[in-house]
Structure 1
């Protein structure tokens, strides 16, 4: 594990920063178990208490989850995402509403600011998503669907909005998976209109397309409840 040995002051904060970097950088992936306490002690060159305090702090922030007798697992890639995950369990409707707020404006700005390279990426992602859904490969389709929505917001070229939305990566994927699992027919939702509006630079149509399918999902949840 490429974590530099720590011997300066503020050991706990330094260890927290290094462990957070391993999470946000993708070295430790969401759902995976992190190295054991003895392995972290050896890799970081610090004491057990320092490692335990760092793990405790990151668990409190929602990035890690300690499972007694099983180890410590990555729960989220950011404090914000971790907090949202704790709130989102049975409240899929709330998650979809938050997605709608961010994705509508993200789509509107994407239609205004997208580049040719952005459009090529969106074409690739949506094509892969549609092929997976058509083949009923929902595991791949969920990943590709979430990646498409994240890319749309990224095409807004608004760094703050993009960072905020990327903090929701896990919960966006979870909400896509939940809606597909709960009602597989939603897997066939067509995002072609959204992409066409972004390509045409039609900001109002892009916003309408982005909000429309989420409104449909929210309405389905309301009728089912």
Structure 2
């Protein structure tokens, strides 16, 4: 049974569904090694990053497991229970934002206290990238915005916080693109709160943990000028 290309959106969810169906149908038996990311991406008509996120979701559901240097293998034809990544994929954007706020406000505070010069360079480069992406459309801006916030979280030097943020990314990516399109706020603010992001960089640079946390809290309490839902 050929996989067949997926529709344009939402890519990760569709790719996950197609791969899951192949496993459940027995196309790849338990113990079998899945084709490589490049092969799966070509068959599904998506990018390798989409395949990677889909495989990560299937791993969270208990269908597959990656073996370093060997590939990704089927370990079950049935889900072994809904784990954290699976719950996130089903969550409402509002619910994700409530948890994201707790993670990022604390991470911003720690980033201001722990950042290195290399961290500052990365954060400032990410801010420049966000500004450049503002002229490329909503999706490009969302990708750059996520990269900026990831750089700030990374500066906290806490792998658990960084891991939690990374888990949010698939839900955030699609939710924020839809939110920007719905609110059309960029018609009046093309940079989508560039000033707040600059203030966050300044607070981190100056070691102002409370200020950094407050900037993030203010942004996430009312993203893009409306309450998430």
Task: Give the direction of change, closer, same or farther, for the CA distance of 1:181–1:30 in structure 2 (3 Å limit).
Answer: farther
Q: Give structure 1 stretches of 5+ with no counterpart.
A: 1-10, 33-49, 62-78
Aligned counterparts, 1:1-225, within 5 A: 12=30, 28-30=51-53, 54=76, 56-57=78-79, 61=82, 79-88=83-92, 92-133=93-134, 135-185=135-185, 188-190=192-194, 191-217=197-223, 220-221=226-227
How many residue pairs get aligned? The number is 168
Q: Distance in 2 between matches of 1:210 and 1:182?
A: 22
- What does the per-residue CA deviation read over 1:129-184, in whole Å, with 9 as the maximum and x for residues that have no partner? 11221x15222111111111122111100121112221212122233223212223
Q: Distance in 2 between matches of 1:146 and 1:54?
A: 33
Q: Distance in 1 between matches of 2:120 and 2:172?
A: 21
Q: Distance in 1 between matches of 2:178 and 2:104?
A: 18
Q: Distance in 1 between matches of 2:129 and 2:202?
A: 16
- What does the per-residue CA deviation read over 1:64-87, in whole Å, with 9 as the maximum and x for residues that have no partner? xxxxxxxxxxxxxxx422211112
Counterpart contact for 2:120–2:205, Cα < 8 Å: yes
Q: Give structure 2 stretches of 5+ with no counterpart.
A: 1-28, 41-47, 56-72
Counterpart contact for 1:108–1:203, Cα < 8 Å: yes
SS for the counterpart of 2:79 is helix
| C-alpha deviation, 1:95, in angstroms | 1.9
SS for the counterpart of 1:156 is coil
| C-alpha deviation, 1:26, in angstroms | 5.3
Q: Distance in 1 between matches of 2:136 and 2:176?
A: 14
**RMSD between superposed Cα atoms in Å:** 3.3
Runs of 4+ in structure 1 deviating by more than 6 angstroms, as ranges, are none
Counterpart contact for 1:110–1:156, Cα < 8 Å: yes
The structure with the largest helix share of the pair is: 1
| C-alpha deviation, 1:115, in angstroms | 0.9
SS for the counterpart of 2:52 is coil
Select between 136-145 and 178-187 the one with higher mean Cα deviation. 178-187
Q: Distance in 2 between matches of 1:193 and 1:168?
A: 23
| C-alpha deviation, 1:30, in angstroms | 3.5
Q: Give the structure-2-normalised TM-score.
A: 0.62
| C-alpha deviation, 1:200, in angstroms | 0.8
Counterpart contact for 1:104–1:211, Cα < 8 Å: yes
